[in-house]
């Protein structure tokens, strides 16, 4: 019975085999090259199940000539043809029928596929002692072409296999990933609470914690490097260098661990050098962190605001993704004529697969086929799909930046209400974050949208430059590459500058309610008048908070590494059937960093708002009884040499 036959799994698809035919054979392996292979994850040539792979060179024409003297040649060749194949007289008839390959080559089964059995002799690839051969259609092929075709098959197999294994790893470890992300959230919240009471101690804990985690990474890389160096070098079959094997081999090369050890050592040295040069500024950072912690303790709802930002960003991302998929799949399936030899007047023309066999194309272009190309149409709407995709991407960038701007303006308004309260917490208005969010939505939506538009435009130009670079990469010369690097650097600097000015402009909008242009001008001049204080406070505070983010993700990362590599079996039993332990590990490290970034970004906005308010306070007041400072004495004394006057 057919239901009793075995099933062979090829990547993500299952193919029912016939009896003992468990190996997949490609009629024309040279069709398995090109970018379409990785996009479609399949080779556009006839594929059949065979019981064994070919062991010799043999073209169909040679088989016909030899078969006149020995009928066994057809019996050997027909096992690589379709079941009902019959001998034909000419190569043209063979290409029209498509029942047999034009040639077979010495092959070996690899992942249940027949792959040419190439070997390297003195650095030169050969196949059965040959360096060149006839492909059966009158063309002379080289081993380089055959190797590229085999490599294309290997990459497709591995791409499918890796995709399946990634899904398996996530399905096995998703509970541990959620637990790890919860631990990261708890650590971030704990650190923010402790910063108010033990800012100095926690700062040094950040420092030594990060140095310790990086040191552990250096030590582990050294152990792996030493272990691999002592092993005898193993040999790999050439087809093992597909995507999956390259990933596996990456962690079995001593150069990998040596490079990682050098990178971590460089990071460790850089942090130590930065600490040495910033040792006199650390006290300023500690005072600012304490002041920020005090503000957050009076406004605890600020720590929950990142959840709202996450929800809004998720909505924006979902809207963009759904719209992009809808645009990409809108229309009807378009089929085009594909020819193995690539020489046909009908090639790349649209066709109908139902009536294609009855047209003149298979006769005029032997071997031609009608294959699916993409979704589309010929209406005016379909002609502008690419334009719609670009517009959708720009709208996505604009919405993302607007959501971030809304959060920054709302938080700035809440922390400003804390600073300008003379008696804290008595003079702090009720529900400051809710009130600030309402003001931002009701009065400042236009200003926030305009600032987001400027930033989105810069980011869109960056995307266009990167897209052009990828499309024209092969045609670039040294001058074009240099120009591209310069453009990338300029747009990167421009984006950073726009982000910095926008963030401070949103603070001024929350303070005075002016439009975006006036707020940007006032913020710029205010920062220029206090440029030295800006350099001290902004950079030092950013460095401290960066260490906090690294520490949170590092702690979770170390625990995840020990868990997923089964080094914590005595304490807790984690997943033991992972294909790639680094998949959930990197997911946890990245997710933990983003969670820590969400919490510490509130802290960063708090410190920047307090600093802007402090600069405004110094210019508007003089510390007298009529114009007292709103700043706390400890913060005033650390940022200025002048002692504050009496406060009411």
Q: What pLDDT digit, counting tens, does each position of 574-585 carry? A: 666 777 777 888
399 vs 23: CA distance, rounded Å: 51
112 vs 10: CA distance, rounded Å: 8
Cis peptide before 425 (omega within 30 of 0): yes
275 vs 318: CA distance, rounded Å: 42
In this structure, is residue 56 part of a structural domain?
yes
Q: What share of the chain in percent tops pLDDT 90?
A: 12
What was the pLDDT predicted at 135? 66
Q: What is the pLDDT of residues 508-536, one digit of tens each?
A: 999 999 999 999 999 999 888 887 777 66
Which residues are CB-contacts of 647 (< 8 A; sequence separation ≥ 6)?
Answer: 422, 628, 629, 630
510 vs 448: CA distance, rounded Å: 11
Cβ atoms of residues 131 and 124 within 8 Å: yes
Cβ atoms of residues 50 and 23 within 8 Å: yes
Mean pLDDT of 641-646: 48
Judged against a pLDDT cut of 80, whether residue 390 lies above it is answered with yes
What was the pLDDT predicted at 40? 43
Biggest alpha carbon–alpha carbon distance for the chain: 118
Query: How far is C-alpha 164 from the chain's CA centre?
Result: 18
User: Tokens 């001998």 identify what position?
Assistant: 87
Which of 138, 171, 205 is the endpoint of a domain? 138
What was the pLDDT predicted at 68? 80
H/E element holding 332? Answer: strand 332-338
Angle at 65 between CA 63 and CA 70, to 5 degrees: 75
Which residues are CB-contacts of 339 (< 8 A; sequence separation ≥ 6)?
Answer: 346, 347, 365, 367, 368, 369
What was the pLDDT predicted at 159? 60
What was the pLDDT predicted at 19? 59
The mean-pLDDT minimum among 124-138, 189-203, 301-315 falls in 124-138
Cβ atoms of residues 239 and 151 within 8 Å: yes
Mean pLDDT of 176-204: 81
* Long-range contacts of 625-633, Cβ-Cβ distance < 8 Å, separation of 24 or more: 628/422, 630/419, 630/420, 630/421, 630/422, 631/419, 632/291
Indicate whether this model's pTM tops 0.85.
Answer: no
Can you read off the two tokens belonging to residue 146?
A: 């055959």
More confident residue, 20 or 2: 20
CB atoms within 10 A of CB 14: 10
What was the pLDDT predicted at 245? 47
Q: What residues make up the domain containing 366?
A: 334-376
In this structure, is residue 108 part of a structural domain?
yes
In this structure, is residue 45 part of a structural domain?
yes
Q: How far is CA 331 from CA 36, 376, 377, 480, in A?
A: 21, 5, 6, 38
In this structure, is residue 148 part of a structural domain?
no
The mean-pLDDT minimum among 79-93, 211-225, 233-247, 284-298 falls in 233-247
Which of 318, 345, 376 is the endpoint of a domain? 376
In this structure, is residue 115 part of a structural domain?
yes
Can you read off the two tokens belonging to residue 524?
A: 């710029």
Q: How far is CA 622 from CA 131, 427, 591, 647, in A?
A: 88, 21, 47, 11
* Overall domain count for the chain: 2
User: Tokens 């193993």 identify what position?
Assistant: 234
More confident residue, 268 or 541: 268
Which of 326, 351, 376 is the endpoint of a domain? 376
Mean pLDDT of 525-552: 79
pLDDT band for 39, please (50, 70, 90 cuts). very low
In this structure, is residue 31 part of a structural domain?
yes
What mean pLDDT is reported for the chain? 77
User: Tokens 């747009």 identify what position?
Assistant: 491
More confident residue, 65 or 342: 65
Judged against a pLDDT cut of 60, whether residue 10 lies above it is answered with no
Residue among 281, 271, 295 at smallest CA distance from 195: 295
Judged against a pLDDT cut of 60, whether residue 18 lies above it is answered with no
Can you read off the two tokens belonging to residue 493?
A: 């600097």
Query: How far is C-alpha 21 from the chain's CA centre?
Result: 40
Cβ atoms of residues 106 and 116 within 8 Å: yes
640 vs 325: CA distance, rounded Å: 56
Q: How far is CA 561 from CA 353, 464, 552, 555, in A?
A: 52, 38, 14, 10
Judged against a pLDDT cut of 60, whether residue 487 lies above it is answered with yes
Mean pLDDT of 304-318: 86
E-assigned strands of 497-558? none
In this structure, is residue 81 part of a structural domain?
yes
In this structure, is residue 455 part of a structural domain?
no
500 vs 286: CA distance, rounded Å: 22
What was the pLDDT predicted at 43? 63
Can you read off the two tokens belonging to residue 580?
A: 């790639």
């Amino acid at each position: 019975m057919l239901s009793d036959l075995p099933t062979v799994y090829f990547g993500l698809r299952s193919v029912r085999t016939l009896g003992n035919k468990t190996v997949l054979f490609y009629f024309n392996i040279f069709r398995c090259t090109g970018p379409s292979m990785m996009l479609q994850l399949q080779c556009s040539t006839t594929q059949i199940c065979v019981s064994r792979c070919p062991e010799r060179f043999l073209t169909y024409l040679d088989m016909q000539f030899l078969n006149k003297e020995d009928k066994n040649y057809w019996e050997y060749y027909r096992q690589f043809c379709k079941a009902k194949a019959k001998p034909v007289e000419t190569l043209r008839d063979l290409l029209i029928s498509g029942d047999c390959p034009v040639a077979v080559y010495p092959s070996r089964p690899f992942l249940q596929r027949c792959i040419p059995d190439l070997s390297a002799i003195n650095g030169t690839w050969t196949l059965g002692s040959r360096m060149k051969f006839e492909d059966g259609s009158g063309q002379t092929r080289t081993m380089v072409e055959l190797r590229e075709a085999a490599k294309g098959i290997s990459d497709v197999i591995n791409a499918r296999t890796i995709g399946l294994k990634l899904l398996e790893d996530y399905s096995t470890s998703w509970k541990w990933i959620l637990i790890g992300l919860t631990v990261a959230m708890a650590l971030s919240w704990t650190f923010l609470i402790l910063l108010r009471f033990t800012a100095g101690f926690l700062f040094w804990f950040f420092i030594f914690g990060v140095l310790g985690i990086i040191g552990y990474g250096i030590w582990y890389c050294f152990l792996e490097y030493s272990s691999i160096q002592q092993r005898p070098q193993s040999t790999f079959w050439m087809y093992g260098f597909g995507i999956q094997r390259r990933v596996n081999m990456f962690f079995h090369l001593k150069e990998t661990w040596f490079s990682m050890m050098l990178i971590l050592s460089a990071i460790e040295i850089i942090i130590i050098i930065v600490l040495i040069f910033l040792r006199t500024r650390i006290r300023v950072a500690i005072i600012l962190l304490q002041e920020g912690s005090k503000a957050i303790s009076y406004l605890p709802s600020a720590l929950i605001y990142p959840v709202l930002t996450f929800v809004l960003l998720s909505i924006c991302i979902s809207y963009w993704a759904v719209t992009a998929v809808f645009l990409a799949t809108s229309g009807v399936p378009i089929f085009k004529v594909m020819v193995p030899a690539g020489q046909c007047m009908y090639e790349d023309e649209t066709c109908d697969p139902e009536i294609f066999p009855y047209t003149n194309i298979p006769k005029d272009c032997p071997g031609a086929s009608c294959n699916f190309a993409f979704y589309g149409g010929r209406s005016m709407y379909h002609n502008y799909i690419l334009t719609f995709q670009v517009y959708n991407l720009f709208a996505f960038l604009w919405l993302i930046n607007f959501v971030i701007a809304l959060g920054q303006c709302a938080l700035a308004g809440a922390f400003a209400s804390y600073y300008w309260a003379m008696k804290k917490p008595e003079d702090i208005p009720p529900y400051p974050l809710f009130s600030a969010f309402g003001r931002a939505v009701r009065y400042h939506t236009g200003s926030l949208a305009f600032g987001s538009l400027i930033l989105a435009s810069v980011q869109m130009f960056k995307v266009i430059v990167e897209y052009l670079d990828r499309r024209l990469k092969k045609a670039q010369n040294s001058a074009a590459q240099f120009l591209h690097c310069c453009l990338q650097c300029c747009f990167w600097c421009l984006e950073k500058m726009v982000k910095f000015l926008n963030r401070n402009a949103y603070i001024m909008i929350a303070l005075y309610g002016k439009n975006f242009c006036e707020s940007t001008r006032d913020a710029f001049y205010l920062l220029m008048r206090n440029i030295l204080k800006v350099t001290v406070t902004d950079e030092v505070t950013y460095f401290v908070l960066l260490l906090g983010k690294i520490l949170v993700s590092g702690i979770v990362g170390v625990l995840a590494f020990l868990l997923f590599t089964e080094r914590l079996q005595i304490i807790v039993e984690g997943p033991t059937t992972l294909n790639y332990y680094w998949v959930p590990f990197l997911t946890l490290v990245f997710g933990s960093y983003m969670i820590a970034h969400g919490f510490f970004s509130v802290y960063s906005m708090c410190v920047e708002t307090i600093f802007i308010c402090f600069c405004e306070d110094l210019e508007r007041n003089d510390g007298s009884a009529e114009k007292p400072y709103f700043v706390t004495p400890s913060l005033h004394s650390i940022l200025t040499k002048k002692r504050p006057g009496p406060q009411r």
